[in-house]
Structures are given as structure tokens and as C-alpha cells.
Amino acid sequence: MKSSKLFNLSIFFFLISANGIAQGLQKDLQFWRPYDQRGINIFETGKEDTVAFDGMKVRIGGHFAQQFQNLSHSNTAQPVFNDDGVNTNQLMDIGFGSNLATANLNIDVALADGVRLNLITYLSSRHHPEAWVKGGFIQVDKLGFLGVGETDWFDKYLTLRVGHMEINYGDAHFRRSDNGNAFWNPFIGNYIMDAFTTEVGGELFFQNNGWIAMAAVTGGEIQGGVTNPGFRQPSVIGKFGYDNYVAEDFRVRLTGSVYTTAGSNRNTLWGGDRAGSRYYLVMENTLASPAAQFTSGRINPNQTDNITSFVVNPFLKFKGVEFFGNFEQSTGSGRNETENRTWNQWATDLIYRFGPQEKFYLAGRYNRVSGPLSGSGADINIERAQIGGGWFVTKNILAKLEYVNQEYNGFSASDIRHGGRFHGFMLEGVIGF
């Protein structure tokens, strides 16, 4: 771990200590998702105003995650030697060990009645040795601060977010691990195709009697910029669905989302997670490093120019039993490609939560992706199964155990992923407050 990461983590632990002293003074905020166990299965923040505004307030929280990895991998790729005589298709020798500890600093500020600022900073991440801002936004749920008269039409039904923020495409991003924040993910790894990015823009969200609808416009890129204007087009994001209890203890949510842009200098819908995956160095060669090859175990369809992606997400919860699905299709191309390529992903999660306050759970997931590779056009598919469980030691402390098995099919003999497989156990501890 580099010295800057040690410094960042020391700051983080100082904040944890300070938070422990003042925890009783750290109250919840309006229209806010708690960072602990209470935040599980919360998607967009609702319109129920359960916290009174009593002046400007700053809330400092954080997340911390640590994994222990015991994975093995194999392949049947033919040897490919570089100029130094190194076989770049020889897999790195990996085994039991601890991964880099990751940490997030969460700052939320109540600026006015119904107006909140959010800022998240990665203090330690797999890909970056330095602290860096993930993103931030202002969320508006009430317009009274404007002093323009009656605003019930907005206050009851609408939420506005503006900033450089995590885009609201699909529902899986509400459940994925986000660097140090692994509290809301019942598993240790995210999906093989990980739809996550931050973009500059704004979204308007409508909620009424379970019906939800959202429209957003962003700059379409993770960092933005003013160069190469001929390549840049805005991205449009939409969501429509229903989320309500149809009977006692039976919640039903079903949403459909779309993300589309006609052109981009470098779109990162499938490559926007700069923090990195949980499966360190799987299917990587002997020259790899954890920071440089930070997306191990995932695949990016490289649709970096134009892209149109659709996803349907059903979510059912009856007492302690939960089902979450992710059925996705993405069509697009890279800058130098003349034809679009279509990729498909589907995933099903089944979770059973039990015990007092659902402190324990068992979980299983099946995830499959398929599509033509950029360049070669080879039709490949990757399949992953995850089985595990967790224990909420307190509402702020979570321990997880997972067995994962992932197999690669259809890759050419010269590709390191030919006949590829990784499998084994992962253990993760998470703190959130």
C-alpha cells in the first residue's frame, strides 16, 4: 500500500473515531438513504418527509471494506510471447491473501428545507493511490426556499438532482458494491457487465402511489470536457416503473430503463467504475498489477462511441424472501467500428433473510453475458454462479462469505481467456455509518 493510501486511511479511521464520539448527535437527514443496514432495498429516496428540518446540518459518514481472497484460475490458451520472451497468456500465480482495504468518506449537508448536498470521496481504492472525489449532487425535494408561493405540485411528487453524479440507469446500481460501500450488496462481486458511471447532468424524478418515472440528460462522459466537440452528444436516460406493497409483507417493484447517446468522445457506461472489482488478478497474466488491471473478472463490450442500452429490473420481497432480476441488452460501437454490436446480460438474485431484524441471510446468483468481441467479432459468453451469506453483527457491521465460479466460453485460442475459469471463496467485512 502506498504512503498516500496509508495517510488517507489514517484520516478515515480518525473520522470513524470522531464519529463514534458524536454518533448520538448524528441524526438522519431528509429524503436520504441511510448508509447502514437500514439502507438495504432502498432505491430512489421517497417523498415521505419523516425528518424535520431544523437548520443547516452537516453529516459525516463513511464505509470501509476488507476482503480475504482464496481464488484459483486456469486457462487453455496457446502461448503468446512478447519481445522479451514472456508468455503473455500465462496466468499469474494467485492464492490466499488479503485485498487492499477500501474506504469512502460520505458527506451530506442539509442546506435548506428539502434541499440536500451529497459528496462522496474514495479515500482508498484499488485503481487510485490518492484520494479522489467520486461525485456529488444537490437534491431538491421542496421548493419553499425559493419563496415563490404554493409549491405542493413539486413537493408531493417531484425530486430534482443536479451535479456530477452516479446516473440512475437501471436498479442494479442501488445494490452493487461501490468501493468501500459494500453494505447493500448481498454478494461480494458485482455483475460481469457492470453498468455504472458518473456523469454531469440533471434528473427529474416523479413518484405517486407507487408509480415512478424519471428523465435525465447528461454530458455522456465520466469527466466531460470541451475538446473534440464533433464527437460529443448528450446522453438521455429514462426510467418508468411501479414500486409498492400489494399485500402485507409483499413488495413488488418493476422498472424499465434506457440509456442512449448518439456519440461520445469516450462513453463509460460499461467502464465507469474506477474503483475496481473484488476479484483481484483473476485471469490476468504474470505482468499484471492489481492497480493497472483493476477490472479483473468483468468484461467491457467497448461501446465507447454510440450506445443504446435497455434493462428491465423486477424486484419481489415477501417477508424474508427476495428476488431481484437484471435483464439487459446493449447495442453500440467503438470509435473506429463501422457496425454496431449487441450484447446481452441477464442475472437473477435470490436472497433469504432471517433472524431478528433479518440479521442473517443466504444468497445465490446466476449471471450470464454474451456478445461479439470488439475487433475479432468472436461470439463469446461468460457465466458466473455465486453462493453465499451474511451476518449483520450490528446495523453498522456486516460479514459476508461467498463461493464464486466463473467460466469463459468462445474465446480464441490466442486469447488468455480461452478455456478460462476462476473459482473459490471470498470473505468480506464491511462497516457503514
Neighbours of 393 (CB within 10 A): 12
Q: Cβ(235)–Cβ(199) under 8 Å? A: yes
Euclidean distance between the first and the last CA atom of the chain, given in angstroms as a whole number: 25
The CATH number of the domain holding residue 87 is 2.40.160.10
pLDDT of residue 21: 44
Rounded to whole angstroms, the Cα distance separating 293 from 416 reads 14
Looking at the chain, how many residues does it have?
433
Cα dihedral 178→182→188→192 (10° resolution): -20
Number of separate domains in the chain: 1
Q: Which domain holds residue 59?
A: 3-432
pLDDT of residue 24: 45
CB-based contact 429:399 (threshold 8 Å) = yes
Is the pTM value of this prediction over 0.85? Answer: yes
pLDDT digits (tens, 9 = 90+) for 132-150: 999 999 999 999 999 998 9
Low-confidence ranges of the chain (pLDDT < 50): 1-3, 17, 19-24
What confidence score (pLDDT) does residue 403 get?
98
- Predicted pLDDT of residue 410: 97
Residues 6+ apart with CB under 8 A from 216: 167, 168, 201, 202, 203, 204, 236, 237, 238
Q: Which helix (H) or strand (E) holds 154?
A: helix 152-155
